[in-house]
Amino acid sequence: MSGKAVWITGASSGIGAGLARAYAKRGCRLILSGRNEAALAEVAAQCGTEHLILPFEASDFAAAQAAADKAWDWSGGIDVLVNNAGISQRSLAVDTDFAVYRKMIDIDLLGPIALTQALLKRMVARKSGQIVMISSLAGKIGSPLRSAYCAAKHGLIGYADSLRIELSPHNISVIGVTPGSIRTDVSRNAITADGGRRGVSDEAIDTGIDPDEFAERMLAAIDAGQREVAIAEHGMEQMIAEARRTPEELFDRMIATFNSGYAAKMGVSEQ
């Protein structure tokens, strides 16, 4: 990984900051994005590696395109894109304003898609790269009080699964990551039924995995060739993580055979 250019969104705290430190240990050059420029600068100082700070709001899709151009030019290409920026939700669906669903989809689903699409043609032309989508166990199974969050995170896994099949001929890997409870401010920053900030945490989050430990475990799993990384500590979360792991590459190739005209590109039979 030494010298590779790694772009991490949501890098100002939590999982994103942990990943920045983990990639820095491996000698990577970092591009750090988020809304809080001062916090990004603090994380960069902790990493002590060559870096570029590109602050922008995840739901500002025009800003994402402009940031993609700057990041690519700075690094001469992006080796690893980690789509980590996002927010959570804590409210019953029956009480939740539709605006909350729109905000959640914009930030947690369309934001990562917009940034990935801004880089995709260049990565394909370069014939190399890795795209990491930080979803959630809530992207694999529905959870109460998180209907908007689950919808967005399920969508992110679907997008990642499709990309993985399409990009494999171009030597670009796509990894879906489904964390359980990680010790961050995700619950405090979650939005409520009217779109306000929740302001309190959950016991499961407070007793969850340390972000730096999570980051090391995630990178170890990617190094080991896992195409979907599920990391959880609590008993029920561990059961879900194990039960919902995506099958091996054969599954992707089977899906490809059901898509007219695509099987030939993948080099598989439609029989």
Known catalytic residues? 149
DSSP, collapsed to helix, strand or coil, labels residue 100 as helix
Residue 87 CA to residue 271 CA, distance in Å, equals: 43
Angle of CA points 36, 38, 43, to nearest 5°: 95
Overall size of the chain counted in residues: 271
Residue 20 main-chain phi, psi, to 5 deg: -60, -45
Residue 197, phi then psi, degrees to nearest 5: -80, 135
**Contact of 33 with 81, CB cutoff 8 Å:** no
Give the distance from CA 69 to its chain's centroid: 20
d(CA 195, CA 139) in angstroms, rounded, equals 21
Q: Distance between CA atoms of 24 and 99, rounded to whole angstroms? A: 38
Which residue reads 């000698």 in tokens?
Answer: 27
Check if the beta carbon of residue 53 is closer than 8 Å to that of residue 30.
no
The CA distance from 214 to 192, in Å, is 27
